[in-house]
Amino acid sequence: MFDWFEKKSASPIAEGFTTRHDMVATGHPGFIAGTMVATAQGWRAAEDLQPGDMVLTFDHGMRPVQAVRRETKYLDDRCENANMSAVYIPRDALGNRSPLWLRADQGVLIEHDLLEDALGDPFAVVPACALEGYHGISRAPMQVTMDLVTLSFDEDEVVYIEAGLLAFCPAQMDAVQLAATDGNIYTVLGTTQARELVIDMITEESFWTPAETGTGGHGAPQYAYA
């Protein structure tokens, strides 16, 4: 089920944590068109936002969007695209009140006791692709196009989308700006370490939770088949 990830060792989770300076897994993600973002004017589709619009962030309240980038991605079944297929998040899987799709490398802020045990901080950012199998989260089929909207702020921010899911928006910096950044408040896991954590989360919940239940709802995909 999880054969594209290799669990390298039994070392503590904390050894896999990194900072934004080392971050590769979350890249420069974008929200798929139709994703609702919390703003000063209420919930608005990501594609309708403009620079200067005020967006609700997890740590800093309302912050202005500095830049909005729009692009269309086409994913076919070639190897380099297969790992970037969208990730389906059922309703309530991560606090979201509506089902949605996320780009595979979109960072998601999660809270879990396993993180608290490893770091003394229950929060960390993981790439959406690492969450497959957790609370019904799954990967999309191939042969899709995705209209993406990337929001940038003056610094790294976590924003509210779909009434509760917390999505990571890294600041768009060049190498000089990034090197000058004095630390980062968000702990970001690489893909392998994030996957190890999620497998442990799934294992822990399966131990305590009866196997009857389904998680989340169903909704029309927010991308179009090519």
Q: What is the pLDDT of residues 155-197, one digit of tens each?
A: 999 999 998 999 999 987 554 444 445 556 789 999 999 999 9
Local confidence band at 76 (pLDDT 50, 70, 90 cut-offs): low
Residue 66: both structure tokens together: 């500095």
DSSP label at residue 140: P
Q: pTM to 2 decimals?
A: 0.76
What are the pLDDT digits (tens) for 8-50?
333 334 444 343 333 334 445 789 999 999 999 999 999 999 9
**CATH tag, 26-175+182-207:** 2.170.16.10
* CA separation, residue 175 to residues 21, 42, 156, 181 (Å): 10, 35, 15, 10
Q: What is the mean pLDDT of the chain?
A: 77
For the chain, the structural domain boundaries read 26-175+182-207
Contact 187, 17 (CB under 8 A): yes
Out of 19-23, 70-74, 117-121, 180-184, the most confident range is 70-74
Which pLDDT belongs to residue 7?
A: 32
Local confidence band at 74 (pLDDT 50, 70, 90 cut-offs): confident
Which pLDDT belongs to residue 13?
A: 40
pLDDT mean over 119-141 = 90
62 beta partners: 56
